[in-house]
Chain A
Amino acid sequence: MSGVAFAYSRAADVADAVARGGAPGAAFVAGGTDLLQLWKAGRATPTELIDVYGLGLDGIGVDGDELSIGATARLSDVARHPFVVDQHPLIAEAVLASASGQIRNMATVGGNLLQRTRCPYFRTAGMACNKHRPGSGCGALDGEDRHAALFGAGSSCVATHPSDLAVALVALDATVEVSGARGVRRVGLSELYRLPGERPDVDTTLAAGELITRVLVPRAASIGRLATYVKVRDRASFEFALLSVAAVIRIDAGTIVHARLVCGGVAPAPWRLPAGEALLIGQKPERGVFTVAAAAAVEGAPPLPGNSFKVELLRRALVRTLTTIATGS
């Protein structure tokens, strides 16, 4: 066994978790699939684990005009839940493209959204990594950069966010409900993540001790059902994305009236492509339109030497995703 010593306790309730979760060295744990990996690698050094798995935050249901998914719902339960499959199959698609059966049986929604980057410099003990220790340097910038970000990176960090689910949820305009010392607040999932800037070690806008309690997704009727998730990876299963695309469009009288293009694996957070979205609105859902929008969406992406192939890969993935939606195949 490896890793530093920590204390472990099960939180009594959300208030207890939040009250203790802000202490230096404290970390929430649920499925443990990411935190324990990092702890074994010496890249997470919690002194106190607060287990929130048993807090009953795993419900999935309809709440008013929204689909509500509890933060500790397991990915495998999310992917097969009738409400999810019926209202937002995009979510099930993204989840089933993630990890393996064993991991989906353990991993939770909240943990998935908060998982750390797969950048090998971050994951490997002894490597220079500003996300692990600000000021220690970025091995990827001058080293192996095939996995590095196309968008949103900085001079301090080029790591990408690995979640499939988060990409789908941003495309569906999801928000998260967060409990903290100052009560409950809601934050758009896009605003949950922050760019590296001078603090690449901080992935999110959550305050110390804040706990995600559930994810809320506008119901399908208000968004439109035309959506799909395309994940491009080095092998067909149990692999993180080289890049991925979640697209959602709504068509009214033959014209696109709503569009979300969000890509994963290419930025520190799920990355919207507003230039591409804008070129879809008011147009007919056909391949020529998709090609123009996809080209605009990737324009200006500044690649590193090792990941420049992803610009064209992303453009093609966008066309393929939109074509799949439009043709239903």
Chain B
Amino acid sequence: MTAPQAHSNEPTNDHDVTVGYSLSINGGTHPVQDAWIGESLLYVLRERLGLPGAKNACEQGECGSCSVVLDGTLVCSCLVLAADAVGSEIATIEGLSADGGLTDVQQAFLDAGAVQCGFCTTGLVMSVHDMLDTTPAPTDLERREAISGNLCRCTGYGRIFEAIDLVVTRRSGSPAGAS
């Protein structure tokens, strides 16, 4: 086994097992050492860096539970090689709120009862934030399309759409429930 290449910013192409690199996550630098090149970003976030907010469910890009933002775009971190994310800005749910409190989307999920088992919730929160960042007043179709990559098997999505309604209403400044 070769010595890990700690803090290198280029992934190595050694056939040997381990590599080292640094990832830029939520504004901070996170060194990764002794990693295998085939580890997904999801795996490295959860198992090496103590960031378990992105959930590991299908590992096939179908459920959206592992959604993170990579260089400004929402992706499934299970299908990103962590080593391929070197040089990219990664945003996870842990970094959504600067003060550690809840974002307005998270609060709305609580208020609307949009969380049951909770496994899909962090991915859905990431998707809803991503949609509202670019589309502050989404149509019904845009809302459905925006969360079509996030599977929830508990809620039937009704409460999740209620949560989106709440955020949109609150952000627009009108009193909740007003039409």
Instruction: Please list the residues of chain A having a beta carbon within 8 angstroms of any beta carbon in chain B.
Output: 1, 3, 5-10, 31-33, 36-37, 39-40, 49, 51, 53, 74, 76, 99-103, 105-106, 237-238
> Which of B10, B15, B43, B64 has a CB less than 8 Å from the CB of A100?
B64
B81 an interface residue at 8 Å Cβ cutoff? yes
**Chain B: minimal CB distance from A295 (Å):** 34
CA–CA, A39 to B78, complex, Å?
12
Find residues 50-75 in chain B having any chain A CB closer than 8 Å to their own CB.
59-62, 64, 67, 73-75
Contact yes or no, B36 A1, CB < 8 A: yes
For B76, what are the chain A residues with a Cβ–Cβ distance below 8 Å?
Answer: 33, 102-103, 106
Contact yes or no, B149 A103, CB < 8 A: yes
> Which of B38, B67, B84, B127 has a CB less than 8 Å from the CB of A3?
B38
- Known contacts A10-B10, A100-B149, then 14 further A-B pairs from the complex at CB < 8 Å, ordered by chain A residue: A1-B36, A6-B38, A7-B13, A7-B37, A8-B84, A32-B84, A37-B61, A74-B73, A101-B145, A102-B74, A102-B149, A103-B61, A103-B79, A106-B79
The 4 A-B pairs of least Cβ separation, nearest first, read A100-B149, A9-B13, A237-B148, A105-B73
Contact yes or no, A100 B81, CB < 8 A: no
B166 an interface residue at 8 Å Cβ cutoff? no
For A33, what are the chain B residues with a Cβ–Cβ distance below 8 Å?
Answer: 61, 76, 79
For A102, what are the chain B residues with a Cβ–Cβ distance below 8 Å?
Answer: 61, 64, 67, 74-76, 127, 149
A-B contacts, 10 of them at CB < 8 A, read A8-B37, A76-B73, A100-B64, A100-B149, A100-B150, A101-B149, A102-B64, A102-B127, A103-B76, A105-B75
CA–CA, A237 to B150, complex, Å?
11
B132 an interface residue at 8 Å Cβ cutoff? no
B144 an interface residue at 8 Å Cβ cutoff? yes
Interface centre among A1, A3, A37, A105 (most CB of B within 10 A): A105
Contact yes or no, B146 A1, CB < 8 A: no
For B79, what are the chain A residues with a Cβ–Cβ distance below 8 Å?
Answer: 31-33, 36-37, 103, 106
For B95, what are the chain A residues with a Cβ–Cβ distance below 8 Å?
Answer: none
| Given A37-B79, A101-B145, A102-B67: A1 touches B43 (CB 8 Å cut-off) | yes
| Given A100-B148, A106-B79, A237-B144: A1 touches B74 (CB 8 Å cut-off) | no
For A32, what are the chain B residues with a Cβ–Cβ distance below 8 Å?
Answer: 79-81, 84
Contact yes or no, B38 A5, CB < 8 A: yes
CA–CA, A3 to B79, complex, Å?
13
Find residues 14-71 in chain B having any chain A CB closer than 8 Å to their own CB.
14-15, 17, 36-40, 43, 59-62, 64, 67
**Chain A: minimal CB distance from B144 (Å):** 7
Residue of B nearest to A9 (CB): B13
**Chain B: minimal CB distance from A234 (Å):** 14
B83 an interface residue at 8 Å Cβ cutoff? yes
CA–CA, A31 to B84, complex, Å?
10
Residue of B nearest to A40 (CB): B59
For A9, what are the chain B residues with a Cβ–Cβ distance below 8 Å?
Answer: 11, 13
CA–CA, A1 to B73, complex, Å?
24
| Given A100-B149, A101-B146: A1 touches B40 (CB 8 Å cut-off) | yes
> Which of A40, A74, A101 has a CB less than 8 Å from the CB of B60?
A40
For A106, what are the chain B residues with a Cβ–Cβ distance below 8 Å?
Answer: 61, 75-76, 79-80
CA–CA, A31 to B73, complex, Å?
13
Interface centre among A32, A102, A105 (most CB of B within 10 A): A102
CA–CA, A74 to B73, complex, Å?
11
For A101, what are the chain B residues with a Cβ–Cβ distance below 8 Å?
Answer: 74, 127, 130, 145-146, 148-149
Residue of A nearest to B66 (CB): A102
Contact yes or no, B59 A105, CB < 8 A: no
